[in-house]
Amino acid sequence: MPSHFIIAGTRFPLVDRRVELAGTAVELATVPYSGAELDRITALLGHQERAWPYWLEDWPATWALADALAEEDPSHWPGPVLDLGCGSGVLGAWLRAHFDREPYSCDFNSDACRLAAMNVARNGSTPARGRVFCADMGAFPARKRFGLVLAGEMLYARANHLPLLDFLSRHLAPGGRALLADKGRSAAEGFAETAAARGFVVAARPAAFPAVGGLPAGAGRIYTLVADAPGP
């Protein structure tokens, strides 16, 4: 593994790290999080959302999604998996380590995409194929449909609701599911109703969000959206 990660021509330390999600150990390469490193990155890239290093931090929603999926049989998923807003690839790495299944990953941040490709490849028993889309969900570069779409902490802004539902309308396979984890943000209110109005079958269940990345434990929700299955 390289000892550094290049961001805007500047070297940042890259270290090995092992974390556990849903009882499965995952091997990661990470830039250690600190306020000083965050300041260095934002000084180089600015404070625009698309450049903001969300990938630098751990997000409890990732652990909540792993807990929700841990006992499933992936052979029942009606198509490939997409980790949407993948960040540094923690959930994708877990899917490889736990199920030995490589998802597609997608993020609009190029640094996140580079780390995700690295971290997914470090886990699992077979060579990874590098299934990473570096793109905005509103300009997704493939017509592919997915049997399972996973997204954590994407309902933090109401402005994300309709673009996310538009994406799922285009890219969720018939009978496929999307699981969206949110830690009880007020901006998520009304999402379930909007999704139902768009034709999805919607369920929401409480979920425990563990204390990771310096963020406290708490209660949140996992929204499950199901696309209409084809008729007989």
* Residue 4 placed within a domain: no
* Residue 19 placed within a domain: no
User: Distance between CA 47 and CA 207 in Å, rounded?
Assistant: 31
- Please tell me the pTM assigned to this model: 0.94
User: Distance between CA 223 and CA 149 in Å, rounded?
Assistant: 12
pLDDT exceeds 50 at position 231: no
* Residue 68 placed within a domain: yes
User: Distance between CA 176 and CA 191 in Å, rounded?
Assistant: 19
Count of positions (residues) in the chain: 232
* Residue 185 placed within a domain: yes
Mean pLDDT of 108-128: 95
How many distinct structural domains can be found in the chain? 1
- And the tokens for 188? 């998520």
Nearest in space to 14 (alpha carbons), one of 3, 24, 26: 3
Mean pLDDT of 136-153: 94
pLDDT digits (tens, 9 = 90+) for 196-217: 999 999 999 999 898 887 778 8
CATH code for position 71? 3.40.50.150
Mean pLDDT of 78-104: 97
List the domain range (segments joined by +) for residue 112: 54-226
Q: What percent of the chain has pLDDT over 70?
A: 98
pLDDT exceeds 80 at position 110: yes
* Residue 9 placed within a domain: no
How many C-alpha atoms does 115 have within 13 Å on its Cβ side? Answer: 33
Strands 218-226 and 172-182: antiparallel
* Residue 120 placed within a domain: yes
* Residue 171 placed within a domain: yes
Strands 104-107 and 172-182: unpaired
* Residue 25 placed within a domain: no
pLDDT at 1: 67
pLDDT at 232: 41
Q: Where are the alpha helices (DSSP H) in 15-89?
A: 35-45, 60-69
